[in-house]
Amino acid sequence: MATVTETAAAIARRRAARAGSAARRGLRGGLLGGVIVIYLAAVGLVERFNGTNVITGVITLGPIFFLAAMLLTGYLASRDPKVDGQVVPVTARDRLMAGLVAGAVTGVVVGAFILLFNAVNIRDIFVSLSPIVLGDILTFGQEPAVGALLQVGVAVLLAVAGASLRLLNPANRKPFVAGLATLLIVGVMERLLRVMLDTLGLETAWLYRRGGLTTTGAIAMFAVGAVVSYLATHRAAIFQRLAGERRIGGGDGGALPPSTQENLAFGLGLASLGLSGFLAVQGLVGEPASGGLLILALVIGLLAIGVAAVTVRKRTGGSARGSVRAGRAGIGFFAAIAGVFVIVPLIVGVFLSHAMVTVGIYVLLGLGLNIVVGYAGLLDLGYVAFFAVGAYSMALFTALQSSLVTEGVGEFGSGSQVAAEQPWTDFWVALPMVIVIAVVAGVVIGAPVLRLRGDYLAIVTLGFGEIVRVIVRSDWAAPFLGGSQGIKQIQPPAPDVFDFGSPQNLYYLVLVFILLAIYVSWRLQYSRVGRAWAAMREDEDVAEAMGVSVIKYKLLAFAMGAAVGCLSGAFFAVQLSVITPDSFELLVSITVLAAIILGGLGSIPGVIIGAVVLVGLPEVLRDFAEYRLLFYGAILVGIMILRPEGLIASARRRRELHERNIEARFAGEYAAGEAEAALTAAPGEAKQET
C-alpha cells in the first residue's frame, strides 16, 4: 500500500511540474490578455463605444471593454491548471502571483503598443485605430509614456483583483459577479429597458441619465443583482429552513435538490422581490414609488417562495407523490413560460416585439431543420430553400403586386408596378396551399438526394439552396417572381378583424404556430417515426434491415422540415410585407443550423434558446451592429468549448457525450485497480521483471 501512496504523490508532483510555475502561467495569460486588449482597440470597439454612457459621468462602455479584459485575464490566469484532464490545485499565493504577472505582462504589452504607435505610423494597417483611442482613451488622457505606465498599473490592479475573486468562496463570488453583470446589462440596455419601464408606468429618472445609469442607479442595480444571486445560490438551504428544520433534522438531514417546479416558483419569487427592490429604491431616492405595486410585488415574491418551500416539504413528507408532481411540474413549467410569452409583447414595445417576431421566425425554422438534422440526421445546408419557397408562395397569393393579380406588369426592368386592388386570396386560404407547396418542395428536393450520405448530402443540399435563390433572382423568373425587385405589398392576415400588421399582434400568430410545431416535434420524437429516424441516423443499413423504410422516412423528414420551414417563410413575408431575393442568402441556412447546434441538436428547448442567442441578441444589440459578427463568433467558440453538447442538450445526446467521460473514468479506475492489485499482490514478481 505504501508503494501506491508514494506513486500517487509522485504522480501529483509530476503533474504539478508539468503545469509549470505560477509566473509562467501568468506570463502566458498576460500575453494573451495584452493581445486581446490591443485587438479590442484595433477593431475600434473601444473608441466606438467611448461615448456610450454606462454609469453617466463615471464610466463609458469603451474603457469597460479593455478593463474587463484585464480583470478576466487575471481571473483566468489564476485558475487551476489541468494536466491530462486532471485538475492540479494551486495555492492562494500562487493564484495572486499568476494574476500579478498576468496583469503586469498585459500592461507592458499594451504600454509598449501605445509607445510604438506614437513612434511609428501603423494606422495604414489598423484603420480603426484612431489617435483618439491610443492618445486619449488607453493613456487615460496622459502623455504616452505616463499613459503606458498607468496602463501597467491599472492592468496589474485589475488582474490581481480578478485573481483574488478566485480566493472568495464561490457562494460569495457569484453574487458579486452577478451584481456587476446586472449593473452592466441594465446600463448597456438602457434604450430598451427604458421603453419597458415607461410602458409599465415606472419612473426612470432616478435610474437613467443621459443614456447611462445614474450613480444611485448603478449602486441599486448592483445590490439587486447581488441579492437575487445570493438568494438563488443558497436556495436549497433556504428551502430547508422554510420547510422546517425540525422534521428534516430527524430524517436524512441533507437538503433535497429543488425540482423544476420549485425552482420556477422560486424564480418568480425572486423576480417579484427584484421588482419590489427596484420600487423600494425608487421610493428611497425620492421619486414617486407606486406603493400598491410595491406591496403587490413583495406579496407575490414571498408567496411564490413560500409555495416552493411548501412543495419541498410535501415532497420530503410523502415521496410517493413526488413522481406525479414531477410530471405536473413539466406542464406547469411550460404553462408559466407560455404565460410570460403572452404578456411580454405588451410590455416591451414595438421594436422589441418586431425582434421577437424575427426570433419566432427563426425558432420555426430551427424546429423544422431540427426534424431534418436533429432527428433524421440528414445534414441539410440548403434549408433556406424552403424558407424562400414559403415566403414567395405566400407573397404570390396575398400580395397586391403579385403577378397573379397584376397581369402583364412587373416584368423585370419595367420599373413601374401596378398594384391590384385585391390580393389573389386571403392569408388563411393561402396558408394551407403554402404548406402543400412546401411538402411538394420537400419531396422534390429530397428525392434526388435520398442515396447521398453525410458530406455529400450537405454539399448537394447547399447547391439546392443556391439554386432556389438564383431562380428567384433570375430574369427568367422575373415576370412571375419579380426578380431582384421582389414582391411588394403583401397583405397581413385579415386586417379587418385583428390587425396582424403590427408586430405585437403578428407575434401572437407566430407564437401559436410555434407551439403547434413544438407539439408536433415533441410527439414525433417519441413516436415510431422518431425511433425510426433515430435508428436511421445511427446506422442506415441496419435500420433498413430491421424494416425501417429509409426512403420513406427520409422523404417524410424532408417534407415535415419543409412544411415548418415554409410556414416560417410565410410569416417572414407577412412581417416585412416586401420580400426580395436578398433575404434568402446562404447565411440563413447557416444561422439556423448554428442555432440548433448551439442549443443542442435534437432538443426542442435548445432550438428556442439557440434562436434567441443567435438571432435575438443581435437584434437587441443593434448598437453593436458593426461588431455583430465578432460577438457572434466569440459566443459560438465559447459555447462550443464550454458545452459541446449544446446549451440544452437532448437527453439522448447528453448521454452520448457524457457517457464517454464516464467510460473513460471507469477505464482509468479499472487500470488503477489493476496496477494496485499487481503492486500489492506480487511485489516479488514485479521486481523480477525489472
Partner 1 sequence: MSDGAAVLELEEVHAAYGAVLVLNGISLEVRRGEIVCLLGPNAAGKTTTLRAILGLTAPTAGEIRVEGDRVDGLPTPRIVAKGITMVPENRRLFAKMSVRENLEIGAQLRSDDAGIKRDQDRVLELFPRLSERLSQKAGTLSGGEQQMLAIGRALMASPKVLLMDEPSMGLAPILVEQVFKTIREINEQGTTIFLVEQNAKMALSIANRGYILRGGEIVLADTAQNLRDSAQMQEAYLGG
Query: Closer to partner 1 at the Cβ: 6 or 656?
Result: 656
Query: Closer to partner 1 at the Cβ: 543 or 594?
Result: 543
Binding string, residues 471-510; x marks residues near partner 1 by CB under 8 A: ----------------------------------------
Residue 673: CB minimum distance to partner 1, A: 17
Q: Give residue 650's identity as a one-letter amino acid code.
A: S
SS3 for 416-446 is CCCCCCCCCCCHHHHHHHHHHHHHHHHHHHH
Q: Give the sign of the dihedral formed by CA 536, CA 537, CA 541, CA 546.
A: negative
CA 285, 288, 293 angle in degrees (round to 5)? Answer: 110
Residue 664: CB minimum distance to partner 1, A: 13
Binding string, residues 620-659; x marks residues near partner 1 by CB under 8 A: --------------------------------x--xx--x
- Quote the CA–CA distance of 612 and 594 in Å, as a whole number: 12
Residue 554: CB minimum distance to partner 1, A: 13
Pick from 80, 84, 663, 669 the residue near partner 1 by CB under 8 A: 663
Residue 527: CB minimum distance to partner 1, A: 11
Query: Closer to partner 1 at the Cβ: 421 or 541?
Result: 541
Query: Closer to partner 1 at the Cβ: 235 or 653?
Result: 653
Contact at 8 Å (CB) between 381 and 462? Answer: yes
Here the cell at position 620 is: 437587441
Q: What are phi and psi of 170, to 5 degrees?
A: -50, -35
Residue 583: CB minimum distance to partner 1, A: 37
- Which residues, numbered 114-143, are part of the site for partner 1 (CB under 8 A)? none
Here the cell at position 90 is: 494551486
Query: Closer to partner 1 at the Cβ: 551 or 681?
Result: 551
Here the cell at position 572 is: 417572414
Residue 549: CB minimum distance to partner 1, A: 4
Residue 356: CB minimum distance to partner 1, A: 35
Residue 548: CB minimum distance to partner 1, A: 6
Query: Closer to partner 1 at the Cβ: 204 or 525?
Result: 525
Transcribe 443-463 into DSSP letters.
Answer: HHHHGGGTT--HHHHHHHHHH
Those residues with Cβ within 8 angstroms of residue 366's Cβ, 6 or more apart along the chain or in another chain: 592, 595, 596, 599, 607, 608, 610, 611
Residue 524: CB minimum distance to partner 1, A: 15
Residue 325: CB minimum distance to partner 1, A: 21
Query: Closer to partner 1 at the Cβ: 215 or 661?
Result: 661
Residue 543: CB minimum distance to partner 1, A: 7
Binding string, residues 513-552; x marks residues near partner 1 by CB under 8 A: ---------------x--xx-xx--xx-xxxxxxxxx-xx
Transcribe 301-312 into DSSP letters.
Answer: HHHHHHHHHHHH
How many residues lie near partner 1 (CB under 8 A)? 23
- Which residues, numbered 372-391, are part of the site for partner 1 (CB under 8 A)? none
**CA-based nearest residue to 648, from 677, 617, 688, 611:** 611
Here the cell at position 208 is: 437613467
- Which residues, numbered 242-271, are part of the site for partner 1 (CB under 8 A)? none
Query: Closer to partner 1 at the Cβ: 24 or 655?
Result: 655
User: Hey, how many other C-beta atoms are within 10 angstroms of the C-beta on 603?
Assistant: 25
Contact at 8 Å (CB) between 450 and 442? Answer: no
Here the cell at position 112 is: 509598449
Contact at 8 Å (CB) between 603 and 643? Answer: no
For residue 356, CA distances in Å to 132, 574, 608 come to 37, 14, 11
Query: Closer to partner 1 at the Cβ: 45 or 535?
Result: 535
Query: Closer to partner 1 at the Cβ: 411 or 544?
Result: 544
Query: Closer to partner 1 at the Cβ: 187 or 600?
Result: 600
Transcribe 484-527 into DSSP letters.
Answer: GG-B--BPPS-TTTS-TTSHHHHHHHHHHHHHHHHHHHHHHHTS
For residue 366, CA distances in Å to 305, 432, 525 come to 35, 20, 15
Interface positions with partner 1 (CB under 8 A): 528, 531-532, 534-535, 538-539, 541-549, 551-552, 652, 655-656, 659, 663
